[in-house]
Structure 1
Amino acid sequence: MNKPHEPNSWEARAMANVMAGFTDFPTLHERGPMILTHGKGVRLYDTAGRDYLDANSGLWNVVCGWDHEGLIEAMVAQTRRFPAYHAFFGRMADTSVELSEKLIEVSPFATGRVFFTNSGSEANDTMVKMLWMMNRAEGKPERRKIITRINSYHGVTAVSASMTGKPYNEHFGLPLPGFLHADCPHYWRFGEEGESEAEFTARMARNLEELIEREGPETIAGFFAEPVMGAGGVIPPSKGYFEAIQPVLKRHGIPFISDEVICGFGRTGAVWGAETYGIEPDAIIASKALTCGFMPLGAVILGDAFAERMQAAAEKIEEFPHGFTSSGHPVACAVGLKAIEIILEEGLLANVRMISPYFMKRLNALADHPLGGEARGIGLMGALEVVAEKATKTPFDGALSVSERIANACLDQGLICRPLGQAVVLCPPFIMDETLLDEMFDKLETALDKVAEGLKA
């Protein structure tokens, strides 16, 4: 790898001109950035010609590989026919209409409406504005508070970052007022001594109800949750969690919005994470695998009741004064239509279901590694949480940056994975097979061994 100080190298040019986001700066200064040139299948290639198996699917989204001909053809054909437009003033591309129809068809809703954005962050931001607008139109302007969970991730706009339950948002002076964070339902980490998983789940529901009653249910606009916390470190909920909290929300008339940006379109082994966990949402937030990562696109999918309420609120002032220049972009929507076809009809979802037991078998085995704490996951998303002391689940001193060390050791092995807190996250493409999974886990295990030896030294 070229060092960032070598004159005129790709790395030096990037260091001089690019502001890196969500990047560990000590690693960036020591190792330099990785500059990629192309991808084939599940592999990426850098400017030095090295190849890497990408165990992150880009950023959870490139689930069909980097060179899927069907998606490329759909993109090229639509670009030649109608390359750009918006969705303002009652004018929109035909592909925007088609994709709206398809999303409602594959959603849990019999009917509904779809609003397109360019990302999951924008979609969550849009949903909050919709809730606020509906409530004001219905004479309930005090219903503005939004509940999410500690360690959740919903985006990076000012509103969606306020929803995100991560401490780094304090550096922006966030969250904004009225954004509340309930407990993180991670039993392994937050279960109390002697507390069973069922008791932990009951406590989560009880604490949520206490939060609602303390704040006033009449002031709460909605509850947002990822079926599995993705950027929180792949945290599946404790057993029975959603069954326990949904009655609480319904009792207080609080809508449930399922943030499916990561879980949607097959990551958990079902079309929606809501399906996996028995969630009955009022609306769904989608992005990432919606286009297999080939184009930026997000969507707010409103269920029947929400669609009617939102339409009535807009009719009251004669418009919905919200949108983005590229909302319903015709090329992005054409790619989205093809992506859904590939995932649901051409065997990708079936492949996730077929290989996920082997994925989990190899992942669970890593819990026995000297660094292993908890191995967790579902479908084709998983994480290994590392610990300094297994018996007490004691994490490493943050100054050691152990998960970052593991990720860097993986890069040296030709594997891209993601450090998240004290965990290493794996979310490989849906086109993996057992041979590729073996390569992925073998490289990760070698990296774990190297880091363990370094920590001993």
Structure 2
Amino acid sequence: MDAPQSWEKRAETYSLYGFTDLPSVAERGTVVVTHGEGPYIVDTNGRRYLDANSGLWNMVAGFDHRGLIDAAKAQYERFPGYHAFFGRMSDQTVMLSEKLVEVSPFARGKVFYTNSGSEANDTMVKMLWFLHRAEGKPERRKILTRWNAYHGVTAVSASMTGKPYNEVFGLPLPGFIHLTCPHFWRYGEPGETEAEFVARLGRELEDVIAREGADTIAGFFAEPVMGAGGVIPPAKGYFQTVQPILKRHGIPLIADEVITGFGRTGSTWGCQTYDFTPDAIISSKNLTAGFFPMGAVILGPELSDRMDAAIAAIEEFPHGFTASGHPVGCAIALKAIDVVMNEGLAQRVIDGAPRMEAGLRAIMQRHANIGELRGIGYMWALEAVRDRETKQPFEASLSVSERIANASTDEGLICRPLGQSIVLCPPFILTDAQMDEMFEKLDRALTRVFAEVG
């Protein structure tokens, strides 16, 4: 067989694609990227694209931030790799754990490192199973999440993820229970107010706990804003309704802040934006501004104490990864936290969010096939509909959101199709002019696609 010549053919010949619409690849080819410049990426043909998806939510400081690059280079020269096993860890790991507890909503706590958000959620489940078993309650194994939630791709975290595509793997595993998605626009019943919707979800939680038995439930995991579900902020009062129910039954609430952590919603943590304090936080993505694969489990005081007691009973926690607490990753994370919190990036989200919302709302007003604009901070979604009044979606066969994403790519804009929504979660460094560029290119893409499918 002759070797393929083009970058696109080489990619298609030797690589498997994850979460990729293969008909689009067959029709349009693969975009092979060589480098980035600020919020832009550049492909092998020299074409620039404004990446309004921040890579995968995570490149919040852009693709060439000199401070992050220098932090990585300096740590590689000083100490390029290690683990956190056998009572040894790098000084960078110690400093990052201190910093994460300091910036968390917890008065004190402890941190465990992974290589991704998926692994961090998986690890948190194992922690809950471990401590419940150590406390003489081995039957507390069931995990509660919500439909349309996304928590990862390991066998456990995919079981937590309330997406129908996991059926192709024979998932979820037994004991993973999905409750109603707190998206009032889509799942509110006719004539139901938002407050009534939230009260119904609270009753559902109570009913599930009664049906399954509180003594069989290990924990409840929730994203403050559902990210890969299509940017779904919770209905008003949702967490204030569910958390007291969980507390009454002794069920820990775990905030999956893989996407929302470190500024995306306008606060350091999404749980702060929505005014609740969880028992633990899952972090990744913005933790290193996308410059290193890393995840973290941040335990609050109660779970820290319970884990300490469970570990003491057998003299170890038999879990970990070769690159847990990697010194280069920790050095980058320390710099990334400083960049977001002290170099003005978090403030840019606070200052820019009203402008972003206003620009997207103006686009919605120009397009009758946009049924809902939803989001907060620098994470927003536009939901495409056949009919705005009835909320009737487009026929699935039309692949409307994929068409919009492809049309946007033709315009030099990267955005993400999720369901029938188009998601925009730009880097925090976006200037006003670049935000306007994002609006203009998206508007042209929407005009083109809605004319085609109208």
The equivalent residue for 1:382 is 380
Could you say what secondary structure the match of 1:300 adopts?
Answer: strand
Q: 1:189 aligns with which of 177, 186, 190?
A: 186
The equivalent residue for 1:213 is 210
Instruction: Give, in whole Å, the separation in 2 of the partners of 1:414 and 1:367.
Output: 20
Instruction: Give, in whole Å, the separation in 2 of the partners of 1:422 and 1:208.
Output: 28
Could you say what secondary structure the match of 1:374 adopts?
Answer: strand
The equivalent residue for 1:255 is 252
1:236-258 superposed Cα distances (whole Å, 9 cap, x missing partner): 01111111111111111110000
Q: Quick one: which amino acid aligns to residue 378 of structure 1?
A: I
Which runs of structure 2 are paired with 1:49-448 in the superposition (5 Å)? 49-368=46-365, 369-448=367-446
* Preserved CA contact (<8 Å) 1:183 1:208: no
Could you say what secondary structure the match of 1:78 adopts?
Answer: helix
Could you say what secondary structure the match of 2:447 adopts?
Answer: helix
Instruction: Give, in whole Å, the separation in 2 of the partners of 1:335 and 1:51.
Output: 26
Could you say what secondary structure the match of 1:231 adopts?
Answer: coil
Could you say what secondary structure the match of 1:279 adopts?
Answer: coil
Instruction: Give, in whole Å, the separation in 2 of the partners of 1:370 and 1:407.
Output: 18
Bigger shift: 216-225 or 357-366? 357-366
Instruction: Give, in whole Å, the separation in 2 of the partners of 1:324 and 1:422.
Output: 37
Instruction: Give, in whole Å, the separation in 1 of the partners of 2:224 and 2:79.
Output: 36
Could you say what secondary structure the match of 2:36 adopts?
Answer: strand
TM superposition shift of 1:314: 1.0
The equivalent residue for 2:23 is 26
Instruction: Give, in whole Å, the separation in 2 of the partners of 1:107 and 1:406.
Output: 38
* Preserved CA contact (<8 Å) 1:6 1:12: no
Instruction: Give, in whole Å, the separation in 2 of the partners of 1:313 and 1:240.
Output: 34
Q: Quick one: which amino acid aligns to residue 430 of structure 1?
A: F
TM superposition shift of 1:279: 1.5
Instruction: Give, in whole Å, the separation in 2 of the partners of 1:238 and 1:246.
Output: 14
Q: Quick one: which amino acid aligns to residue 323 of structure 1?
A: G
1:397-416 superposed Cα distances (whole Å, 9 cap, x missing partner): 11110000000000000000
Instruction: Give, in whole Å, the separation in 1 of the partners of 2:210 and 2:254.
Output: 20
* Preserved CA contact (<8 Å) 1:385 1:424: yes
Instruction: Give, in whole Å, the separation in 2 of the partners of 1:438 and 1:251.
Output: 48
Instruction: Give, in whole Å, the separation in 2 of the partners of 1:210 and 1:80.
Output: 56
Could you say what secondary structure the match of 2:181 adopts?
Answer: coil
Instruction: Give, in whole Å, the separation in 2 of the partners of 1:225 and 1:207.
Output: 15
Bigger shift: 51-60 or 5-14? 5-14
TM superposition shift of 1:365: 2.2
Q: Quick one: which amino acid aligns to residue 101 of structure 2?
A: I
Q: Structure 1: which 5+ runs fail to align?
A: none
* Preserved CA contact (<8 Å) 1:364 1:376: no
Could you say what secondary structure the match of 2:375 adopts?
Answer: strand
Could you say what secondary structure the match of 1:425 adopts?
Answer: strand
Q: Quick one: which amino acid aligns to residue 63 of structure 1?
A: V
Could you say what secondary structure the match of 1:375 adopts?
Answer: strand
* Preserved CA contact (<8 Å) 2:224 2:260: yes
Identical columns (%) = 65
1:14-54 superposed Cα distances (whole Å, 9 cap, x missing partner): 00000000000100111111100000100000000000000
* Preserved CA contact (<8 Å) 1:43 1:52: yes
1:57-116 superposed Cα distances (whole Å, 9 cap, x missing partner): 000000001110000000000000000001110111110000000000000111111000
Instruction: Give, in whole Å, the separation in 2 of the partners of 1:249 and 1:441.
Output: 41
Instruction: Give, in whole Å, the separation in 1 of the partners of 2:206 and 2:404.
Output: 39
1:172-198 superposed Cα distances (whole Å, 9 cap, x missing partner): 000000000011000000111111111
1:17 matched to 2:14: yes
Q: Structure 2: which 5+ runs fail to align?
A: none
TM superposition shift of 1:370: 2.4
1:370-417 superposed Cα distances (whole Å, 9 cap, x missing partner): 221100000000000000111110001111100000000000000000
Instruction: Give, in whole Å, the separation in 1 of the partners of 2:313 and 2:4.
Output: 61
Could you say what secondary structure the match of 2:382 adopts?
Answer: strand
TM superposition shift of 1:453: 1.3
* Preserved CA contact (<8 Å) 2:117 2:295: yes
* Preserved CA contact (<8 Å) 2:53 2:415: yes
* Preserved CA contact (<8 Å) 1:366 1:384: no
1:37 matched to 2:34: yes
TM superposition shift of 1:7: 4.4
Instruction: Give, in whole Å, the separation in 2 of the partners of 1:210 and 1:364.
Output: 38
Could you say what secondary structure the match of 1:396 adopts?
Answer: coil
User: Normalised by the size of structure 2, how large is the TM-score?
Assistant: 0.99
TM superposition shift of 1:367: 2.5
Instruction: Give, in whole Å, the separation in 2 of the partners of 1:436 and 1:275.
Output: 28
